[in-house]
Structure 1
Amino acid sequence: MITAAAQQITVKGVVRSAQGPLRYSVVQIKGSSDAAYTDKEGRYSLETARQGTAEIVVSLLGYAPQTRTIELGRENLTADWLLEPASRELDEVIVSASRKPETLSNVPSSVTVITRKALEDNMAVTTDLTQILANEVPGLAPSAQTNSNVGQSLRGRSVLVMIDGIPQSTPLRNGEVDMRSIDPSVLERVDVVKGATAIYGNGAAGGLINYITLSPKEDAPIAGRTTVNLTGSLAGLKNSTGGRLGQQLHGRLGKFDYVVSGMYERTGEWKDAKGQLVGTNYSLGETDSYNAFAKVGYTPNSRHRIQLMYNYYNSRQYSNYTLVNGNFLTGQPATGVLGKQDGQPTGINGNHNVQLSWQADSLIGGTSLHADAYYASRDDVFYVSLGRFEGGDGQSHTLAQKKGFRFMFSSPLGGHGSLSYGADLIHDVTSQPLVDGRVWVPEMKMFNIAPFAETQWAFFNHLVVKGGLRIEKVKIGVNDYTTLRITNASGGTVTPSFAVAGGDLEYTATLFNAGVRFNKYPAFQPYASFSQGFSVADVGLALRDAKVDNISKINTEAVLVNNYELGFVSKANKVRFELTGFVSTSALGAEMVYDAATDLFNVSRTPERTYGFEATAQYSPVANLDLHAFFSYVEGKSDTGRTGDYNMYLNGRRIATPKTGGSVHYRPLNTLELQLQYTGVLERDRFSKLPSGLYKGNEGIVKAYHLFNLNASYRVTRSTMLTLGIENLFNADYFPARSQWFMIPGFYSKGRGAAFNIGMTVKY
């Protein structure tokens, strides 16, 4: 028997960019192995035996992929393509502002989205997420370049950090180490929602940072990329070299899709601009980091999807040096001398996140459901406190475990509105013992249930109106415990050891949000919003330093924050400009204060107000040149007399200096991209010196400094990319802002001098 061969159809064409033909582009029929590569003239010839409707995808490393639906018949076809460079800016993108698919043009508040392209640009220089966020997000305080994000506030208040909506922050005992919870190589993007928000619950007094993890993008059964990097100091090469190795695989097998990734990074010694060792307290030098990530999805039909995600991150410092304190008065920076560090290595000793989610669309009445259950645990190890505890030294670590379940229904209301409603449940167990087992902060067991509802309406196709409420019910239980005796340098008692009776702390709060946005005219798209945020006080801080014998004497009333925002977006030709002003108020401060007259521990009753503005601009004068700039200003004061007169500035731990920044992206060739990035930290001088020449705690003057980073990427072949990054290009000699306002000798470290990062990425 003779079998007729299937007729072959040829699809031909040219793939170009605005600068000319694109070599090595992949032209593939989606869902099949039929593919072709372009030659040096950008030409391709794709043969297939398929008939009927097919989707053709064209992709090239460094460019945004394009998909086109083509009808395949018996005739050969011609299809030409014009690819755009992968963009750092997204105008229409799903964000975390409402916990459901939404575009930026419908959000009545300020949101910064760090795209995958922007992440890759920054990773060519540094993989420190605190530094990447500081480079990209107006309103976020500068990075201290350590494994701690102490003082890195957002608009002067605390920020809630999440991974795919799973909270990483520990508000019950805030160790301020939550920004470095995952490696940026497994992130699709980062959503930063600025201003108080209750949409994800406790802790977002200043906003939220949501790390969105990778999802598979290709239909091939297996694809992936391998990355190799070499790093080191240009200011002092000796012992400074380090390396990084990453491997990712992803693909689609029938109704299943997957992403798996592994990363290991080892940094060498960090050197300042003079080639001297940067102080070792929480330094990211001599640090080993690991990240393991997996995501598996199952889509039985177009209406349902089930997904399982797991991420593990570990980053600890294994230094060959012991700390030499700095001196704020003399300007002497902290450094180190050869020797064994005290205690265990500091850093993240394991951060685990597991999430199982289910998405169901087109239920009764067009309602959709998104539900997920998650488990998260972390162990963060802090530095050794010399002679602080009875019996000598002590080293603490924060242990936190979270179990949560969330569900949300979204229902259409007529043709112009929608209603989202659901509830969040979380069980959080947090403690801060010493690593030798002594109890410093006992276990705090929090159960939080929060029903919520939000509605959105679109009128006349241009006016978007939103409003919602959320009810927080929180219960925190603490068992009886005994405090540790705290001593001074000579061994004298600062706080005696005594028994404290446990009990329950309960909170209830009803939170509202409302917003409006008008999008009719591209040149002027105004928006306004009011939102409230909720955060329990740092209960663990009160428990460990307790001066009372019963937790019922600790008044830990939660902090309720009101955020008012007014702004607009303007688009004209190749320019986008956004200006936002904000005011944030709270009747209570966030710090615990002991009142000796009443023998009670209270939340600071001092009302607070923070305010400021942010401006961003993007401009693409020609196809191969992108310009970006921003400026942010935040200030904060407290009403010490509770008279309505906000007369006392908030300190540097809360309020960041004015910050400016920008970048220039230039593509002189289709295979070459260059970026120069600038971050300027300006001066803040709000407080008077003490007679000693020092300032009160956290009130040190911050003197300005300016940093430039350079990165270049060159596509060698269709699958191979070389990158070169130089951090602190001009080798600026400076103290980061936190070193300056903190003034603590052990943390008075200089910033990193000029450093290099050479990388190679192979995609297949």
Structure 2
Amino acid sequence: MRNDKIFVTTIFIFFTSLLKAQTGVIDGTVKTSDGKPLAAVTITIDGSGQGAITDDAGRFVVYNVPAGMPTIAASSTGFTTQQKQVSLTAGQALTINFVLIEQNQQLEEVVVSAGRTRETIDQIPSSVTVVGLKAIQDNLNITTNLATILENRVPGLAPSSGLSSNFGQTLRGRSLLIMVDGVPQSTPLRNGAMDLRALDPAVIERIEVVKGATAIYGNGAAGGLINYFTRTEKTGKLINSHTSLGATGSLVKKANSIGARVSQMFFGDKGKWNYVASGVYEQTGELKDAKGDILPPIYGLGETDSYNAFAKLGYDINDNHKVQATYNFYSSRQTTNYITVNGDYAAGKKTSAQQGQASGVPQGVKGNHNLNLVFSGETGVANTHYDADFYYQSVDNVFFYSESFVDGGISRILSKKHGARLVFNTPFSAANLDAALTYGVDAQRDITSQPLVDGRIWVPEMNMKNMAPFLQTRFTLFDKLILKGGLRYEHVNIGVEDYQTLPSKNITTGAVTESMHVTGGELNYNPLMFNAGLRYNMSDYFSPYISFSQGFSVSDVGVVLRSARVDSISKINTEAVIVNSYETGFVSKFKNFRFEATGYISKSSLGANSVFKDGAFVVVRAPERIYGVELTADYQIRSNLKASVNYSYVEGKLDADDDGNYDGPADEYLPGPRIAPPMLTGNIEYGVLPGKLNLLLQYTGIMKRDRFERNSNGSYDYSKGPINPYGLWSSSVHYQLSSATSINLGIENMLNKDYFTVRSQWTALNDNYIKGKGAAFRLTLNVRL
């Protein structure tokens, strides 16, 4: 028996030694582009199932790597993944070093939204802002409100109100189109302005912002578009986990202000499959201003429960074709024990909150569903790439209780979209010429209405069918001169059944506007949209560009229908808004410094400016002209110190008498919901102990805008209040406890500035005269396995 044991042990040692003789060891380091060690980087060996995580010094070791020519990959959140194929012989110890580049620091960031195909920023003859994963996560340590995150990072975007509504947060003075993975979230037929918060930022990989009128995705992008791209993780490991636990609260008066957040994400890939699955839940406590008083619940984010469920599954059919399915559900609703107490704008008295039971149902996003199926690959003909996707999106946005309805009521916007898109990209080249054609067709059906929660119809169902073929071209001469141009033809039909307008009550005088019958019908639009641009990448020091583009927007048909005072929609001015946008600018790069300056003018012969008259919103259809400038500077001061500054200025006027002159006695400036005050924002990122302790400092500065005279009551008409300047400082501290664990502390409004938000100032309404959020903290623990 003893001899048998010796024999078995000998055989085991022999085969183990033989196995080890067929393997080797790979070690090395991972550093950032400025030479600092990078901890918590995932190291994977393709096909072996083996890997490692870098330590605090950026070092790693992988044992028992099969001999041959394996591919080793280094990946980390916020950095580009780098792969290297190596030659490893049996028994060899091989050293491989990696340098990873931050995604949001790449000068030639790849963009999809601007031209419906992959291209770098240096190929685009217009202004595009990309907010990368690292910037998103840095800001997520301070706030989860996407409207607030974007105001600091995107020049040209109006300031956030800090509320659930983004009404007034325009892009270059006009409405914008919000998308998730190219699927439209906005409801342009009845714009409820609750689309910026369409999903939780934890599932966003990057954000692309195309500024200026564009028709590249169809209806609604008069001022540009914001496209949220959801997470796609590939690590070479089947199971990865990212857990985030957080707590929030007021630093002024902590009582009842404490909230909590939990986020769990699993991701991985194996062979031809890859997946991401995520769940987020956040509950906020009472939000308080700088004096410690509870902020009123109207459009508030205090005492709010938010949920986000996300799943993405990808499969590589073969080397030339792949398919990906994505589903996202988002809900964010306020359940509060407070009611709003109107302030007094003229007297400078803020709107406040007092305990009481709110009427009706909780306000907010009851549910936003997105389902998207994408096929992509190569056609095998003329190197042509294709993307075919099919989507479904539905949203239910619930608003606050209003006395403007007879007997009171709460409205909701219901919108369902389903559509399909087919896009081809064919490249070709000749001597000193590289070119590409992007062409295809979009088809969409959008059914939108605005009933009251109790079933009464305020805005009838609008059934829009849209078919739009398009063509985009890009020509690159001598690797420097880039010419782009394109066409898009919109065929839009909107059907409306006969309906009865809803009686309304003037909340000031009590006068009631009676209901009337309106005969429905069809609205048809068939515009041909055009765009063209030229960019000359003369050198790193000077790359100028110039462009012209048109945007198409159905002018919030729902507002027009609900306030109709005629007996047929054929008598209502529902003509679409066509915006002509002109832009010029340049980019200059000097070693670690990048500067971009952009100037623009946008014109529309028929505007869609909403005004509040006799207790209701009506639309003024008059020509508009908007102009502005944006400046952006980024400077890598030292290897561990980076600073960025953005400046935005926009102004606009209305040609009320339609005489082609914007300086006549009847003409006036566009009001606050359209035109934001000048803004100056900045960020400083400092690696106190690079890879261990990092600091982010942010500034958001709002400047003065005062364009309107007082009314006969000594106050200001709705939307024409002056903006008094203020500045906010926020910060976050990141500390890497270990290779897998970090802790973050974010402070919003760290100096506890007492201020009225931009929106509360320009509304000049008592019920909207709301203070901004006081100093608040967000403490987060992250564990990545």
Q: TM-score, normalised by structure 1?
A: 0.96
Confirm or deny that 1:518 pairs with 2:536: yes
Contact persistence 2:717–2:764 (CA under 8 A)? no
| Equivalent runs, 1:547-562 vs 2, <5 Å | 547-562=565-580
| Equivalent runs, 1:167-566 vs 2, <5 Å | 167-386=184-403, 388-390=404-406, 392-415=407-430, 416-489=434-507, 493-566=511-584
Measure the CA separation in 2 of the matches of 1:83 and 1:12.
14
1:723-755, Cα deviation, whole Å (9 max, x unpaired): 000000100000010000012222211000000
Contact persistence 1:28–1:56 (CA under 8 A)? yes
Contact persistence 2:235–2:268 (CA under 8 A)? yes
Confirm or deny that 1:682 pairs with 2:703: yes
Question: Which has the higher mean CA deviation after the structures are superposed, 88-97 or 295-304?
Answer: 88-97
SS of equivalent to 1:301: coil
Percent of pairs with identical residues: 48
Measure the CA separation in 2 of the matches of 1:105 and 1:654.
30
SS of equivalent to 1:277: coil
Confirm or deny that 1:570 pairs with 2:585: no
In structure 2, give the amino acid aligned to 1:34: Q
Contact persistence 2:540–2:588 (CA under 8 A)? yes
Contact persistence 1:65–1:83 (CA under 8 A)? no
Contact persistence 1:110–1:580 (CA under 8 A)? yes
In structure 1, give the amino acid aligned to 2:479: N
Contact persistence 2:45–2:236 (CA under 8 A)? no
1:748 corresponding residue in structure 2: 769
Contact persistence 2:560–2:619 (CA under 8 A)? no
2:107 corresponding residue in structure 1: 91
Confirm or deny that 1:69 pairs with 2:74: no
In structure 2, give the amino acid aligned to 1:469: L
Measure the CA separation in 2 of the matches of 1:179 and 1:483.
29
Question: Which has the higher mean CA deviation after the structures are superposed, 4-13 or 668-677?
Answer: 4-13
Confirm or deny that 1:622 pairs with 2:638: yes
- The alpha carbon displacement at 1:33 in A equals 2.5
SS of equivalent to 1:552: helix
Measure the CA separation in 1 of the matches of 2:207 and 2:110.
11
| Equivalent runs, 1:69-148 vs 2, <5 Å | 69-74=85-90, 76-81=92-97, 83-84=99-100, 86=102, 88-95=104-111, 96-148=113-165
- The alpha carbon displacement at 1:236 in A equals 1.2
Contact persistence 1:542–1:592 (CA under 8 A)? no
Confirm or deny that 1:649 pairs with 2:669: yes
- The alpha carbon displacement at 1:615 in A equals 0.4
Shift of the 452–133 alpha-carbon distance from structure 1 to 2, 3 Å rule, reads same
In structure 2, give the amino acid aligned to 1:421: Y
Confirm or deny that 1:35 pairs with 2:51: yes
Confirm or deny that 1:720 pairs with 2:741: yes
Contact persistence 2:48–2:66 (CA under 8 A)? no
SS of equivalent to 1:555: coil
- The alpha carbon displacement at 1:241 in A equals 0.5
Over the aligned positions, Cα root-mean-square deviation in angstroms equals 2.1
2:63 corresponding residue in structure 1: 47
Measure the CA separation in 1 of the matches of 2:193 and 2:613.
26
SS of equivalent to 1:181: coil
In structure 1, give the amino acid aligned to 2:378: D
Measure the CA separation in 1 of the matches of 2:756 and 2:426.
52
- The alpha carbon displacement at 1:697 in A equals 1.4
Confirm or deny that 1:667 pairs with 2:687: yes
Measure the CA separation in 2 of the matches of 1:33 and 1:139.
47
Measure the CA separation in 2 of the matches of 1:140 and 1:7.
59
SS of equivalent to 1:240: coil
- The alpha carbon displacement at 1:254 in A equals 2.2
Question: Which has the higher mean CA deviation after the structures are superposed, 703-712 or 26-35?
Answer: 26-35
Contact persistence 1:405–1:425 (CA under 8 A)? yes
1:66-95, Cα deviation, whole Å (9 max, x unpaired): 332212224624435354574543322222
1:536-585, Cα deviation, whole Å (9 max, x unpaired): 11111111111011111112110000000000110111100000000000
Measure the CA separation in 1 of the matches of 2:36 and 2:149.
32
1:337-360, Cα deviation, whole Å (9 max, x unpaired): 111111111100000000111102
Shift of the 594–186 alpha-carbon distance from structure 1 to 2, 3 Å rule, reads closer
Shift of the 85–94 alpha-carbon distance from structure 1 to 2, 3 Å rule, reads closer
- The alpha carbon displacement at 1:25 in A equals 4.7
Measure the CA separation in 2 of the matches of 1:28 and 1:539.
54
Measure the CA separation in 1 of the matches of 2:555 and 2:38.
56
Measure the CA separation in 2 of the matches of 1:717 and 1:496.
68
Contact persistence 2:44–2:236 (CA under 8 A)? no
Measure the CA separation in 2 of the matches of 1:751 and 1:707.
10
Measure the CA separation in 2 of the matches of 1:723 and 1:641.
56
In structure 2, give the amino acid aligned to 1:405: A
1:579 corresponding residue in structure 2: 597
Contact persistence 2:27–2:61 (CA under 8 A)? yes
Shift of the 623–657 alpha-carbon distance from structure 1 to 2, 3 Å rule, reads same
Shift of the 726–432 alpha-carbon distance from structure 1 to 2, 3 Å rule, reads same
1:11 corresponding residue in structure 2: 26
- The alpha carbon displacement at 1:23 in A equals 5.4
SS of equivalent to 1:366: coil
- The alpha carbon displacement at 1:427 in A equals 0.5
1:211-246, Cα deviation, whole Å (9 max, x unpaired): 100112211111020000000000111110001000
Contact persistence 1:63–1:83 (CA under 8 A)? no
Contact persistence 1:463–1:519 (CA under 8 A)? yes
- The alpha carbon displacement at 1:113 in A equals 0.5
SS of equivalent to 1:126: coil
Shift of the 494–72 alpha-carbon distance from structure 1 to 2, 3 Å rule, reads same
Shift of the 542–170 alpha-carbon distance from structure 1 to 2, 3 Å rule, reads same
Provide the aligned length of Structure 1 versus Structure 2: 758
Measure the CA separation in 2 of the matches of 1:206 and 1:587.
15
SS of equivalent to 2:202: helix
Shift of the 584–61 alpha-carbon distance from structure 1 to 2, 3 Å rule, reads closer
Contact persistence 2:608–2:622 (CA under 8 A)? no
- The alpha carbon displacement at 1:171 in A equals 0.9
Shift of the 23–449 alpha-carbon distance from structure 1 to 2, 3 Å rule, reads closer
Shift of the 476–74 alpha-carbon distance from structure 1 to 2, 3 Å rule, reads same
Shift of the 23–479 alpha-carbon distance from structure 1 to 2, 3 Å rule, reads closer
Measure the CA separation in 1 of the matches of 2:618 and 2:363.
31
1:434-491, Cα deviation, whole Å (9 max, x unpaired): 1000111110100011110111111001111111000111111011111122223599
Structure 2: tracts of 5 or more residues without a match: 1-10
1:359-397, Cα deviation, whole Å (9 max, x unpaired): 0215211111111111100010111112x233x111110
Any runs of at least 4 consecutive aligned residues in structure 1 with deviations exceeding 6 A, and if so which?
592-596
Question: Which has the higher mean CA deviation after the structures are superposed, 362-371 or 509-518?
Answer: 362-371
Contact persistence 2:141–2:745 (CA under 8 A)? yes
Shift of the 362–503 alpha-carbon distance from structure 1 to 2, 3 Å rule, reads closer
- The alpha carbon displacement at 1:167 in A equals 0.7
In structure 2, give the amino acid aligned to 1:55: T
- The alpha carbon displacement at 1:493 in A equals 4.7
1:579-628, Cα deviation, whole Å (9 max, x unpaired): 000000000011479999xxxx9974421110011000000121101010
In structure 1, give the amino acid aligned to 2:754: D
Shift of the 525–437 alpha-carbon distance from structure 1 to 2, 3 Å rule, reads same
Q: TM-score, normalised by structure 2?
A: 0.93
Question: Which has the higher mean CA deviation after the structures are superposed, 38-47 or 501-510?
Answer: 38-47
